[in-house]
Structure 1
Amino acid sequence: MFSHTDFHIKSKTRVKKLIQAGFWRGISTQDLDRWCNEFETQKEQELLSFLLDSLVFKSQNQITGLIHQLFDVQLSNLIDWTADLAPGTNHTSLFEVLCLPYPMDINKKIRLVPAIKMDDPPTKSGPLIARILNKHKINNKYMCWPWDTEKLSSNELIYTIFFDDFIGTGEQFVEFFNNLTTNNIIDTNNSIFYYIAFSGTQSGIDYIENETKGLVKVCVAETIKESNKFFSGFSIRYEELEKHLSITLDEYVASLRITYLDFLVKKKIRNKDVFGFGDLELTHVFSHGTPNGTLPIFWSSNSEYHALFQR
């Protein structure tokens, strides 16, 4: 028999143990308790239980693993890095090549470019990921700003690797890429383009590859499916729950959605995208920040409400 009380205890205990084990650096058990105390009514407690159970937090160590997977598995299977970048050498991986302290002219053949606009703040995810890559010993000489026409239109450039932490709807990247082509910053006839991210929605990946007419190949370490959407995918993730309800699962999800919206009003969370940017309904958080497709209930603090994470 399903018990909401037991499920709530189990969900909160799981998260608390991860925090106590040091996996969620920057988040304390006190932070968790304070956030949980924001949910006061029984319906709000039920909502909280499912939010905690659905929450995906990527720690710094997990991000390290994702970086290696992107470069040594995803990209290495797509590009002929030994022949194009390091012929006649004994380097064992693409990541090793990118970490060379003295890359000679290799950095002219491959550029790592954050997917940002010139007026974006330094807190934008692109620059943050650039700093994370640098901390993992990737040489800064491979890095290139997306407005550096000289480097990005060079005849020596073979691979242009755009990067970010997360791919949501894909619309922002397509706008970014079209701006580069329109202003002749990149030469689509000369370089091969890839866009890499730690995580991404399948719909966003498909949108980018379709809208760029195959010019950009997208690689993500983890693909987020439709079933991962908190409300839209609820009946898939919790299919067995219907056996223990007095109403249909669809009706329960509808009531949960109402509880969520009422909670946002109650706590004065006035974000335009109440279900995350593009209505993605995500429950994903990185140790360095939260994607804009994640539900604002996780990150949108104000004077009336202390969220668990920051944007």
Structure 2
Amino acid sequence: MNIDERFDSIIDSFIENAELLIKFNYWDNLTVRKLHGWLSNFKSREEKYLAAAILNSIIFRSEKAKLALSENIFHILLPQILEENDVYTIKNIKEWINDLNGRSCRELPFRFAAINNVDGRAVKSGEVILSAIQKQFFESTLTVSLDAANSLIEKGKIKALIFFDDIIGTGTQFKTFYEKSLLSTKKIKVFYIPFVAVANSYKDLESEYENLFIRPVEVIDASHMFFSKNNIALNVIDSLSHEDFKAFYLNLCRKNKINIDGNLGKGNLELTYVFNNSTPNNNLSILVHHNDQWNQLFKR
């Protein structure tokens, strides 16, 4: 693969844009110094163009952005879901927030729970998100363990259980949790609300269980894959195709002994979708890889 000096201005432009996003705190977990450290991993013009194209493709969700997503859930999505499924009717947002934080909140016919016990371990992203959302929007007594939820279900005290997550990538992690917890056998409606979901994955997952309802705040699809034909940064050089860039990327990973989930992200989803406190495993591995010879950009 060969890229000549005519494209240096594009490289510079993409990097300058990333620097501005950091300086204006849109990328609020990163410093310009760390950005330059990551860029120093790339030596040739071709490698630098690839790195710049990756930076240009990043969708980043800052702390403020996550708060906006959470507000969307509690002001719009969740009230709609509860009413549509005959669980609870919200008269107005002010009364709704009061209900979630009042003394009688335990009488509400739903509870919030964390996704856990997947392969014998807790799912960090779901627990962190639930904790952050709870502090912002509802009384902690509405958060329950699965054992407590099962007791409430058996007594007929709740009609729905609600889970939050950062992303549905392949959906396999939640499927494992759902089946291990036997939720599909319970007489309850389960609402699973991720900040973002891959379109086909979440629809396929939802279709497998009658009592599961998935409502992502944001939906992404194949056009968001880094090596998609929709990636404008990879369309600029007429002599190079998206497949050329993919082959070059994979070779760069091999050369630098990078090997995480096949390097295209779990499920080969090729994402560049990052949260300020986590990087989903469906992302390109080059975003999170680190060792003594390679400077990391984002933490996993």
Q: Which runs of 5+ in 1 are unaligned?
A: none
Equivalent residue letter for 2:144: C
1:115-138 CA-to-partner distances (Å, cap 9, x unmatched) read 22173247x111111221133142
Match of 2:218 among 222, 227, 230: 222
Q: Which runs of 5+ in 2 are unaligned?
A: none
Distance 2:130 2:253 in 1: 34
Equivalent residue letter for 1:201: V
Distance 2:98 2:38 in 1: 42
Q: In terms of mean alpha carbon deviation, does 292-301 or 259-268 score higher?
A: 259-268
Distance 2:104 2:295 in 1: 47
1:72 alignment partner, SS class? helix
Equivalences, count: 293
- Is contact 1:198–1:220 with CA below 8 Å preserved after alignment? yes
- Is contact 1:110–1:157 with CA below 8 Å preserved after alignment? yes
1:79 alignment partner, SS class? helix
TM-score computed with the length of structure 2 as normaliser: 0.88
Change beyond 3 A, Cα 1:13–1:216:
same
Equivalent position of 2:163 in the other structure: 162
- Is contact 1:153–1:186 with CA below 8 Å preserved after alignment? no
Distance 2:250 2:266 in 1: 16
Say if 2:251 is the partner of 1:253: no
Distance 1:12 1:152 in 2: 53
Q: Per-residue deviation at 1:101? A: 4.8
- Is contact 2:166–2:195 with CA below 8 Å preserved after alignment? yes
Match of 1:35 among 35, 38, 53: 38
Structure-to-structure mapping, 1:185-204, within 5 angstroms: 188-189=186-187, 191-204=188-201
- Is contact 1:85–1:106 with CA below 8 Å preserved after alignment? no
Q: Per-residue deviation at 1:161? A: 0.8
Match of 2:67 among 57, 64, 68: 64
Q: In terms of mean alpha carbon deviation, does 34-43 or 2-11 score higher?
A: 2-11
1:165 alignment partner, SS class? strand
Distance 2:224 2:95 in 1: 33
Distance 1:96 1:260 in 2: 52
Equivalent position of 1:97 in the other structure: 99
Match of 1:24 among 9, 24, 27: 27
1:292 alignment partner, SS class? coil
Change beyond 3 A, Cα 1:152–1:261:
farther
1:278-297 CA-to-partner distances (Å, cap 9, x unmatched) read 11110001011011111111
Equivalent residue letter for 2:206: E
Equivalent residue letter for 2:170: T
TM-score computed with the length of structure 1 as normaliser: 0.85
1:54-83 CA-to-partner distances (Å, cap 9, x unmatched) read 0011000000000111222122222229x8
Distance 1:90 1:240 in 2: 47
- Is contact 2:115–2:122 with CA below 8 Å preserved after alignment? no
Change beyond 3 A, Cα 1:25–1:238:
closer
Distance 1:79 1:64 in 2: 21
Cα-Cα RMSD: 2.5
Change beyond 3 A, Cα 1:23–1:106:
farther
Change beyond 3 A, Cα 1:145–1:62:
same
Distance 1:25 1:169 in 2: 27
Distance 1:253 1:222 in 2: 26
Q: Per-residue deviation at 1:237? A: 3.0
- Is contact 1:152–1:187 with CA below 8 Å preserved after alignment? no
How high is the sequence identity, in percent, across the aligned residues?
A: 23
- Is contact 1:110–1:158 with CA below 8 Å preserved after alignment? yes
Say if 2:232 is the partner of 1:238: yes
Equivalent residue letter for 1:188: K
- Is contact 2:153–2:159 with CA below 8 Å preserved after alignment? no
Match of 1:276 among 265, 269, 289: 265
Structure-to-structure mapping, 1:102-113, within 5 angstroms: 102-107=103-108, 109-113=109-113
